[in-house]
Amino acid sequence: MSTVTILGAGAMGSALATPMLQAGHDVRLWGTFLDDHLIDSIKAGSPHPRTNVKVPDGVASFYHGELEQALAGVEVAIIAVSSVGVADIARLAAPYLQDVQGILITSKGFFPDEQGTIQLLPQTVEAQLRAGGTPFKPVVAIGGPCKANEVAYGQPTATIFGVEGGASAWASLAKTKTYRVASTSDRDGLEICAAMKNVFAIALGVADGLSEVGEQPYHNLKSAIFAQALAELRMLLSAAGTDPWTALGLPGAGDLEVTGISGRNKVYGARLGKGEKATTALAEMVALEQTVEGVDAVRLAVVFIEQRFSELLAQMPLLSAIYAVVHGGESIDRIVEAALPR
């Protein structure tokens, strides 16, 4: 048994409390300054506002001003905030992580360092820990198809942990009867898949939106988008020196499938498919506290690729099309065309 503190009381952070508690750990859940109303609901014994599932009894909850108490004597920390908040949370927590065995991260996306170079989130966490004087700690990436409400309910879930040098020991940390954890040493490949699936899910949502307003479904188009997304993901993984087969496992195809069925990025894409402007759709979802990670991720992904292997971008028409629609105001016809054979 370990003492586990989850940093971030949103949907995924609160959901992970369920398997961690079932695995026999002492679990604490800390909320950021944006999460006070969520902690209020948890302490009141109400269902979590984001998952509609009650956080299990036995999970200790802490407000944002109680970070030191939440991390006192902790052995494992889990960062479960949106990608834009990862660096800040890692920096705040660093002074209290001197003695932890490792840090897990569920966040998915990219982040620019001080020089403007786009980094993967585990590297972002490592940089903040070094800056805070924290000795080296393994940073384990969590990926795969994990809808937070299903994890919270305890429904069968297959996830995957990734860390350089192997993650099997870390995978056993959280494994339960219904929360099954695979492992991989391809942490960077897993992280690229985790970020990119939010981007490509926008395009999958466009097909769903077209289906909703059309007389016939667009299932053929959605399948073509899915296939093109995996092809581009494999190319990116190969160029990055990671394992291209990771794109076809839980981190890639598995996570893209579930996000394309019901994720917020898919919902955003569906709004585009029904004719909404990109800026309007995003503003309305933000007003509902629905983070659409793919909007920032597609912009950062383009820069990530341009900085490292610029020639690859011309071979990724779907990625370029999503960027053009989301940030350039172009028609969704650009996405449709990118998914079909030239």
Q: What long-range pairs does 85-88 form, CB within 8 A, spacing at least 24?
A: 85/8, 85/32, 86/111, 86/121, 86/124, 86/125, 87/111, 87/124, 87/125, 87/127, 87/128
Whether residue 214 sits in one domain with residue 160: no
Is residue 269 packed enough to be buried (19+ CB in 10 Å), middle (13-18) or exposed (0-12)? Answer: buried
Q: What is the mean pLDDT of the chain?
A: 96
The pLDDT score that the predictor gives to residue 342 is 85
Within a domain: residue 325?
yes
Q: If phi over 0 gives left and psi between -120 and 50 gives alpha, with beta otherwise, what is residue 24?
A: left
Domain end marker among 185, 209, 240: 185
Kind and range of the H or E element at 62? strand 60-62
CATH code, domain carrying 274: 1.10.1040.10
Task: For residue 62, count CB atoms less than 10 angstroms from its CB and return exposed for 0-12, middle for 13-18, buried for 19 or more.
Answer: buried
pLDDT of 67 reads 98
Q: What is the pLDDT of residues 104-161, one digit of tens each?
A: 999 999 999 999 999 999 999 999 999 988 888 999 999 999 999 999 999 999 999 9
Show Cβ contacts of residue 210 under 8 Å, excluding neighbours closer than 6 positions: 218, 221, 273, 274, 332
Whether 273 and 322 share a structural domain: yes
| Nearest-5° Cα angle at 176, 174 to 177 | 165
328 and 284 in a common domain: yes
Task: Report helix, strand or coil for 263.
Answer: coil
| 74: confidence class by pLDDT, cuts 50, 70, 90 | very high
pLDDT tens digit sequence for 218-273: 999 999 999 999 999 999 999 999 999 999 999 999 999 999 998 899 999 999 99
Residue 168's pLDDT is 85
In angstroms, the CA 220 to CA 229 distance is: 14
For the chain, give the percent of residues with pLDDT over 90. Answer: 93
219 lies in which domain range? 195-339
| Residues designated as active site | 197
Instruction: Note whether residue 190 is domain-resident.
Output: no
In a domain, 177, yes or no: yes
Question: Is it the case that residue 318 has pLDDT exceeding 90?
Answer: yes
**In sequence order, what are the residues at sequence separation of 6 or more whose Cβ sits closer than 8 angstroms to the Cβ of residue 214?**
none
Look at residue 139 and tell me if it is in a domain. Answer: yes
Count of domains forming the chain: 2
Q: What is the pLDDT of residue 134?
A: 86
Q: How many CA atoms lie within 13 A of 271 on its CB side?
A: 17
Spatial CA neighbour of 272 closest among 335, 319, 341, 317: 335
| pLDDT interval class at 302 (50, 70, 90) | very high
Q: Which residues contact 308 (CB under 8 A, 6 or more apart)?
A: 239, 240
Q: Residue 290 has what pLDDT?
A: 87
pLDDT(72) > 90: yes
Q: What is the mean pLDDT of residues 201-215?
A: 96
